[in-house]
Chains A and B, each alone.
Chain A
Amino acid sequence: MTGTAPGLRMPDADARVLARRSDIIADLKAIVPGEGVIAHEREMRPYESDALTAYKQLPLVVVLPSTTAQVAAVLKYCHDNEIRVVPRGAGTSLSGGALPLEDAVLLGLGKFNKILEIDTPNRCAVVQPGVTNLGISKAVDHLGFYYAPDPSSQIACTIGGNVAENSGGVHCLKYGLTTNNVLGAELVLITGEIVRLGGKHLDAGGLDLLSVVIGSEGLLGVVTEVTVRLLKKPDTARAVLVGFPTSEDAGECVARIIAAGIIPAGIEMMDKDAIAAAEAFVNVGYPLDVEALLIVELDGPEAECAHLLEEVTRIAQACNSVTLRVSTSEAERLGFWAGRKAAFPAVGRLSPDYLCMDGTIPRRQLPFVLARMRELGAKYGLRCANVFHAGDGNLHPLILYDANAPGELHAAESFGADILRLCVEVGGVLTGEHGVGVEKRDLMDTMFNEVDLAQQQRMKCAFDDKSLLNPGKVFPTLHRCAEFGRMHVSGGALPFPDLPRF
């Protein structure tokens, strides 16, 4: 296999599929006419990776359907002919969720870019999966509404991708993740069957299958329509920027705010390296002599914001804050955020390459985890800047490295894996919002044992009996579904202890 970085093993390509490539292309062109099938190497090149650019692979063929019927026909064809399928939205995945396979159809949903219905009386919108996250909010902005989850890539990432990854953002402490803001979806199964889950109503009338489809990383089906919940925009939003002499003080401040019964719209933390990088990049007046910076945002009626800002200020001062600025204008508030939102590119200027990690920890473990990360950085000889969704414990360590320096990519990946193991060790998880994809696939067994993983894969088999949808992602081993039917644990020993891992 060519292209993918060393160390990542993907499922072996199916030689029978590769041998039939030209027939498959002809058959797909019959289903999706015109320019919907891309088979030339040069034209497929833009699809060879997603935002996890360390891994690249050309697909068998790219198919860009424009109707649900076409999606259903393509999937049925692939099911009948045992051809693997990798679904793709805008390709902004940071975990390699849309990394192609040499023997798989890459199914792009980019042509599904219409907003089908805006229904503000029922506070929802029905959209196609290729609509961008920000596109939804922009379409309803003039009505005073918005779609709450706001991942940093919201200008580019699509709602279909958000559904696949259960995307979050900086405001999910108060407003929830994708799963809390999606009411319904149309899902095409690998058999070509179309099922509707949810709608404009709340909750499921039977099993809540929508809840497992959201965050399933394209392994269960292809979403062709999404019903999202719309919220009224809050009257006011104000933010406070607080500097602390230690990360312990900052962490204590977050804990005390929440213990006081306050759920801010967002609480973000940055460490000294991240503050310096962001300030050098956007120059918004971040204090440079502090170890940790918090942005606490409150939204709601003016009276509530003012009241809670007083409380937060009092708590911050009791936690040894050394600088504290309350936004007095919308421009100033956006300035506070500009540095945080630019943290990734800002850190990118410090270093030829960086790796963005995504673990979640119980908040109170933050000082311990930061200290351990410093030790690990020393061990690997690499720097690491930290931005942190402090309200919900979601860490984004940015590991700086130079891909042209021999061994640095490998060291960065090992450092990152150690950080994620540390997250699990303190009671957290491998990924908060970027997904497992290929990036964290081989770490799944730090969090789950074989029985846990087998149960998840059995459920996948209920959706995808031939394991054709996005194979090689999420799970460290690839099984045929029939194997799970026979699997029984006896005395803690599994029948396939030596199963090959990729």
Chain B
Amino acid sequence: MSDIIAARDEAEVADAVRTALSAGKTLEIRGHGSKRAVGRPSQTDLTLDLSALTGVTLYEPEELVLSARAATPRADIEDMLAASGQMLAFEPMDPAPLLGSAAGAGTTSGTLGGLFAVNLSGPRRISHGAVRDHALGIKAVSGRGEPFKSGGRVVKNVTGYDLPRLMAGAFGTLCVATEITLKVLPRPPMEETLVAKVASPEAAAAALSAAMGSSCEVSGAAFLPEGVAGRLPGLSGSPAVVALRLEGVAPSVSARRTMLRAVLAPFGAADVLETDASRALWLGVRDVAPFCGLGERAVWRISTEPMAGPALAARLAADLGGEAFCDWAGGLIWLCLPGESAHGDAVRAALAPHGGHATLIRATAAERARTPVFQPLDTALAALTKRVKESFDPGLVLNPGRMHAGM
């Protein structure tokens, strides 16, 4: 465990980074540490502990905007939003249950800065966008130890480069976020889910595409093969199904249920999960419940073109002896392998014809050191990525090597 520097405000963060830079030391940026086990294993000299940077600094429900310091607990923010009937529409994944003991993490669901840094959006990604789509503004300290800001608190803003979105998913490698401003949205008053059996992965892709290509405004669309489905709430003993979520005001959900049944008719009859059962199901999909509690068996998160997803998931599971399911209308594959070996070359070779990227979300530290955790970049893109990293952090002080070796 490296030495820890605790910072209580932006000035102390800037001091810590400047001190590290001038001493030639590297920093691991940490909030609650709930996602430490995601990414390449960290080998930094020091840990910069942000956990004291808490507090919501602005919340105006009628303006759909919230700002909070980076280490504000995610749970606090979600409670505050819920009290005003609002939500983080991108439905961020809580990786703690999946990482389990592998993370060395406790029971925390992490911080705002953490969920922002990893950009792991949940089922509603397909209809409402990702974490990055809701990023409006950021205050941060660069790897030079300079505090800077970008963006603002309004949605329509093209004043300068859109750095807040770049920071979402940068895993703290470009800057230390100290305060983040997000767009928030009303929470739909009700939801339900239609569940229909599918005969094959190809039929699943067709059913998901038909639903998404309808005007039913589906806000969750998953392919759950037999075996996986049975380990999700509300679907015990289920054969392979597609699950489709409808959210909104009651008259709208009711009308869209009728429309969606018609869309699904060629594939078979659909059962309905009411609000509570529907919520439980999508929470399970969001947090990858079927693959939780399986030690450090390798888990991949693969984003690809939606139509290719179900068949690719089935093939990877069969070829490698694992299990897989799809979220995002087929476009997001969760693949759990039978052991700790990640089989990175096989996974990425199978993905290559379809395009996209594969990220090794859960694996032992040794496996994450051996296998590129993030999708390898081609020469020109790797060089550009390195230059962008250095434009924020020329001394490679901040989370070096967390995403790619040598940067």
Contact = CB atoms under 8 A, between A and B. Distances in A.
B147 interface: yes
Contacts of B163: 212, 455-456, 459
Contact of B388 (A207, A262, A440): A207
B144 A488 contact: yes
Interface residues of A, number: 95
Contacts of A196: 381
Contacts of A122: 209, 305-307
Contact of A448 (B125, B149, B155): B149
Contacts of A189: 380, 384
A205 B156 contact: no
Contacts of A448: 149, 160
Given A199-B355, A206-B375, A303-B251, A428 B165 contact: no
Interface string B236-267: 00000000000011011011100100000000
A211 interface: yes
A168 B154 CA distance: 13
B248 A304 contact: yes
Interface in B286-334: 303-307, 328, 331-332
Contacts of A214: 162
A458 B328 CA distance: 36
A157 interface: no
B355 A206 contact: no
B117 to A, nearest CB: 12
A209 B166 contact: yes
B156 A394 contact: yes
B351 to A, nearest CB: 10
B160 A436 contact: yes
Interface in B59-118: 60-65, 85
Contacts of B251: 303-304, 306-307
Contacts of B146: 451, 455, 489
**8 cross-chain pairs, A with B, having the tightest CB-CB distances, nearest first:** A205-B357, A304-B252, A211-B165, A261-B186, A205-B375, A432-B156, A462-B387, A201-B356
Interface string A142-167: 00110000000000000000000110
B168 interface: yes
A166 B146 CA distance: 28
B102 to A, nearest CB: 22
Contact of B156 (A168, A204, A456): A168
B305 A199 contact: yes
A78 interface: no
B157 A431 contact: yes
Contacts of B391: 455, 458-459, 461-462
A427 B153 contact: yes
Of A201, A232, A301, A488, chain B has the most CB atoms within 10 Å of the CB of A201
Contacts of A200: 304-306, 355-356
Given A121-B307, A206-B403, A201 B331 contact: yes
A432 B160 CA distance: 11
Interface bin, chain B:
35 or more
A451 B248 CA distance: 44
Interface string A288-331: 00000000000011111011100000000000000000000000
Contacts of A459: 161, 163, 388, 391-392
B154 A176 contact: no
A307 B250 CA distance: 9
Contacts of A121: 209, 213, 306-307
B359 A428 contact: no
A39 interface: no
Interface string A216-240: 1000100000000000111100000
Given A205-B356, A394-B156, A166 B249 contact: no
B133 interface: yes
Contacts of B252: 300-301, 303-304, 307
Interface in B158-198: 158-163, 165-166, 168-170, 173-174, 185-189
Interface string A186-210: 0001000111110111111111110
Given A180-B133, A432-B157, A232 B374 contact: no
A205 B148 contact: no
A487 to B, nearest CB: 8
Nearest to B133: A180
Interface stretch (A23-31, A343-351, A355-363, A372-380): A355-363
B262 to A, nearest CB: 13
Given A145-B213, A256-B62, A452-B148, 18 more contacts: A121-B213, A123-B213, A195-B384, A200-B305, A201-B355, A201-B357, A303-B254, A364-B60, A364-B62, A428-B152, A440-B159, A444-B159, A452-B150, A462-B387, A462-B390, A463-B384, A463-B387, A485-B394
Contact of A203 (B61, B130, B384): B130
A448 B139 CA distance: 12
A207 B170 contact: yes
Nearest to A256: B62
B156 A389 contact: yes
A189 B378 CA distance: 14
B217 interface: yes
Given A121-B213, A208-B119, A261 B85 contact: yes
Nearest to A219: B161
Contacts of A463: 384, 387-388
Contact of A462 (B144, B153, B388): B388
Nearest to A448: B160
B40 interface: no
Nearest to A393: B154
B160 to A, nearest CB: 5
B187 A261 contact: yes
Contacts of B119: 203-204, 208
A180 B61 CA distance: 22
B385 interface: yes
A434 B158 CA distance: 7
B357 A360 contact: no
B121 interface: yes
